[in-house]
Chains A and B, each alone.
Chain A
């Protein structure tokens, strides 16, 4: 290029622009055009998918229950618990609440009563210290009748107001930003001095549930692998006209409604269901000791293995199909037994398919909700079911969001791994 310029013979296009610049311009134009084609969808996904999840993540560390009251009708936002916040800011953690603290509390309770926000504030405290919601509603009801000395007056209402634990929770809650929901999601809490400690044994549920989700997902992945490998191999080695027919047996479950498949397993596994009836009918089982195969971990495992099996078969099949059979034949001709030939020659070639299938099945299993909810019973529930419980029943949305954030983090790491190892482009559906 420099040589050409030196000669004064710059390569140009027909209309006299330098060729290099014209090319760069054309490429930038092509790039922009490709990007503009994707842009509408990207914007759509950002609004309907990424933003909602971002908002949920925000909820997991931000809770205004004890700081701001928003009037539902007018949308007016009023700060609450301001006096108490001032006292907390002036006095470090560990200070015994004095008369001034109780006076601040009494003033805030009056505000709560006027705004009818005692339930809201109490609920926020109740997330971390159960039983305190009613203390707030009760105290706010007679708030303006409280006379100094406030300390005695308030403790007379309920002696739990003197509980240092309660004051620690209130101190944390006066800041809307908090990591306490994440602590709760891993069975941790803070003690009176703000140190992170385990919650008592009987209330440790979340870590156990994460472990169970992990354990069940690994077992389901293993089961799908054991079941998918032989049939993927059969499909890959049969002539196409047979394998296409058999493939329908794999694809039909894939296309059938999840609820239909779960329902089918319910009627198969029920204690009065088809499997038990068949076993009793054949005399293998007494009528009185029918197997309990549903509403436990077994129900979840069997149904999810069935539902996720196609996701293992399809990647395995697409890796196995192009494997050249002459490698195995060559191994045999060199004296390998059929087992050695399989183990040393065939199996290593299918490793990419195993990786792809296992990761996909595991990612999908970790977040499963519907099937465990219907056939899992009490001990077949996964972490998703607990998120739903906190969303719909206990209404502790921040805790639900914190649990969801942890689950999402795990899934994203696996997804990233999938993209690095297999590539999302290689995802195939049938």
Chain B
């Protein structure tokens, strides 16, 4: 984006103005996410920078809100912090329980979405797949249909089949989250398969490998980065989903987003910001993983890094 040497002064001025505008837009994108991090260390229950914080006075900062995440909901939060205190926190702290639920639901829905989605993507990327366009449209639609409609439909459906009486905890939410994660798995895995050289599978078959061996030894290693990215997308979708949980989740199925939602609606405390900070750090880690996988996938398939 170098300025051409024949640019006149007006164009030069516009070029720098353009760079400034772009900088401001990037600031608009990233500032709201980063602003919660320092505010979560606020010593006061305010949502803005106090004078002490602006002066970088250590007294203006504290980890009390992170501590509150641990102690909120505990039986004896003020007891000395020994083994039994930690056991109490693990058993009873509201946010820890929410995290446990979120991870369990996220894990199982990711497994379901990734397993079904990967196999389907293999079929969808075959040239002989019948009615490809329609089926693809149906499989992607959970991403497009407004979440409130999905939640409403599931609410009626689950009460009609009384899924809560089946005795499998989290079942309804896991199935719903798997459905919501499937489009992401399909999109990422089919994108990996677009560049897939089908002569490799034919070569494997000609050397006597059966379809399962071909898949396991030839296809899988090549599409694995796409599968893992898809799985991460599916996990994030489940980990971040609140509307379906609100509509169909049982009272004990409290997840992190649901707990946050309640916290924001009732009375927002800086403890929400410390949760938000933790979630931002998790998403940074996930983004880094996906980026590394993408580069690895491109290297494996012999494409230039882009």
Residues of A within 8 A of B (CB): 27, 30-31, 33-38, 40-42, 44-45, 48-56, 59, 227, 230-231, 234, 237-238, 240, 246, 248-253, 255-268, 270, 272-274, 277, 306, 309-310, 321, 329, 332, 338, 363-364, 366-370, 374, 384, 387-388, 391, 397, 400-401, 404, 407-408, 411, 415, 419, 424-425, 427-430
Chain B proximity of A127: nearest CB distance (Å): 17
Give bound CA distance, A260 to B236, whole Å: 13
A249 near B29: Cβ-Cβ < 8 Å: yes
Interface size class on chain B is 35 or more
- Cβ contact within 8 Å between B126 and A34: yes
Question: B87 in the interface, Cβ–Cβ < 8 Å?
Answer: no
Of B58-66, B75-83, B90-98, B264-272, the one with at least 4 CB within 8 A of chain A: B264-272
* Contact between A367 and B22, CB atoms less than 8 A apart: no
The smallest C-beta distance from A60 to any residue of chain B, in angstroms, reads: 10
- With contacts A230-B25, A369-B146, A415-B144 known, is A41 near B120, CB below 8 A? yes
Is there an interface contact between B130 and A35, defined as CB atoms closer than 8 Å?
Answer: yes
Residues on A with C-beta less than 8 A from B156 are 52, 55-56, 59, 397, 401
- Determine if A44 and B179 form an interchain contact, defined as CB atoms under 8 angstroms apart: yes
Residue contact A258 to B148, C-beta cutoff 8 Å: no
CA distance A408 to B286 in the complex (A): 32
Specify which chain B residues have a CB less than 8 angstroms from the CB of A387 in the assembled complex: 148-149, 152
Chain B, Cβ-Cβ closest to A416: B137
User: What is the distance, in angstroms, from B201's C-beta to the closest C-beta of chain A?
Assistant: 12
Complex alpha-carbon distance, A271 and B69, angstroms? 26
B48 and A272 contact, CB distance less than 8 A:
yes
Compute how far the CA of A250 lies from the CA of B28 in the bound complex, rounded to whole angstroms: 10
CA distance in complex: A388, B4 (Å): 55
Q: B95 → chain A, closest Cβ, in Å?
A: 14
Take A53-B153, A252-B284, A255-B287 as given contacts and tell me if A429 and B187 are in contact as well, using a CB distance cutoff of 8 Å: yes
| Cα–Cα, bound, A425→B140 (Å) | 10
Cβ 8 A contact of A264, one of B18, B33, B126, B188: B33
Q: Is the CB of B176 within 8 A of A274?
A: no
Q: How far is the CA of A248 from the CA of B291 in the complex (A)?
A: 9
Given contacts A55-B157, A56-B149, A259-B276, 13 further A-B pairs with CB under 8 A are A41-B117, A41-B119, A49-B142, A52-B150, A52-B158, A234-B22, A252-B30, A256-B280, A258-B240, A267-B48, A268-B32, A273-B47, A274-B47
A309–B71 CA distance with the chains assembled, in angstroms: 37
- B268 contacts A266, CB within 8 Å? yes
List residues of chain B with CB within 8 A of the CB of A321.
306
The distance in angstroms between the C-alpha atoms of A333 and B1, with both chains bound, is 18
On whether the beta carbons of B157 and A52 are closer than 8 Å, the reply is yes
For B196, list chain A residues within 8 Å (CB): none
Contact of B140 among A31, A230, A368, A427 (CB under 8 A): A427
* A240–B8 CA distance with the chains assembled, in angstroms: 27
- Check B209 for interface membership: any CB of A closer than 8 A: no
Asked whether A367 and B260 contact (CB < 8 A) given A45-B139, A49-B142, A234-B22, the answer is no
